[in-house]
Structure 1
Amino acid sequence: MLCGHRGLASVAPENTLAGLEAAHQHGFRWVEIDVQLTQDNQLVLFHDKHLERCTNGRGQLRQHSWQQLSQLDAGRWFSPEFAGERLVLLSDYLMRTTQLNIKVNIELKLHSASDALPLAKRVCQVLEQGQVDCAQLLISSFNIATLAYLQQQLASIQRALLVKRIPDNWQILLQTLDCQALHCDYHYLTQPQAHEVIQAGYQLNCYTVNDPLQAETLAQWGVNMIFTDKPLQQRPAL
């Protein structure tokens, strides 16, 4: 199964409603997004620590309020066609994914370890207050503390441990955190590792695959989901 990375990052500005609409138009049933905290503790979709690459703003996102961030242009950097595209709050994004019946992998994006618990707590608050179906969500993080908090507070939502290379103690980590999935960089994945994870009963999802032939190889290994920036022409069987 294919998951649109940051929406569909080769077609529309990443982590925006325009990217979500692009993923929907190309038939994706899953999207992946990055979520982090603003200065005033709001949850905004954004990947980088700094604003410069994907907006006309400057400085660290964490040092700006939502009111300030909401005025920025988050689309012109990608293409004049998307000039005026705005950043989006997680709650508003999830409202739209519910309307489109698209499932969401929420990556908790941490640029400072001190934000681990504040971010996890705020995510719990927003999801508990919203109308989103928990079955439509998967929350992932590289940070063990955030996953442990979610395990305690929102056990009904599936969780995934994010890694670059699969560590030797991956099974102990997944069991301890009660995760349902393991996400890894496909460049470092071997076929025996894939079989081991899948045979242990976990979902194995790989990022970020933009080559159709590589995607099909991973599908043949049994990988459950592939994150991609592109509407791959040769799709693994859904």
Structure 2
Amino acid sequence: MSRLRVHRESHLVQRIGWLRAAVLGANDGIVSTASLIVGVAAAEASRNDVLVAGAAGLVAGAMSMAAGEYVSVSSQSDTEKADLAREREELSDYAELEREELAQIYVERGVDLELAREVALQLMAKDALTAHARDELGISAIASARPVQAALTSAVTFAAGAALPLLIGGIAPRDAIIPIVSAASLGCLALLGAIGAKAGGAGVLRAAIRVTFWGALALALTAGVGKIFGMAV
């Protein structure tokens, strides 16, 4: 008798933890630093002032992204741990009721009641907490919160994204910093949007247009503000 071969699949949802933080970090790095450079340049500041502002924005933004992601994802992690602790107590005190509750979940998904009870019995015999975490609470290893991973990913990708407009601002002629940095940043945003969409299995064109639109809006607004303050000074 031939053995059945295990068919292993790699699903896009497995990337969601790091992909979201990476795309968000890189987008923010490009948009915020490019906008800062364009805004300061529009205020008729010197090249040195423009670069100092951009470098400060890179460091501050990377740290802000890391702290924000860590706090946000830590809150999610704390909630998951609290739910798991409560579920562990309920499994200890009300094992039969919890098994029936799990069976009813499977019934609602279309499984016959007797079969659902047998499935619940076998799953709980193997790992009751994991079964309830996955099917009752919706907590799985793939989607579970990872604060350190999210913080590091956001900080590194923000810095990488911010380095691009900063580098271009440093080599572009002073009189052409605004158009060159703007064009290069929008092009990179479109590319990043397309790459993120491709990695996540979404529509490439729509993602590229979406991120480019918001990037152009941010650049236009900060350039306008810089121009107004530059004239006032």
- Please give the range of the TM-score, normalised by the shorter of the 2 chains: under 0.3
Larger relative strand fraction: 1
TM-score calculated relative to the size of structure 2 = 0.18
**Higher RCO (CA < 8 A, seq sep 6+):** 2
Larger relative helix fraction: 2
Q: Which has the larger radius of gyration?
A: 2
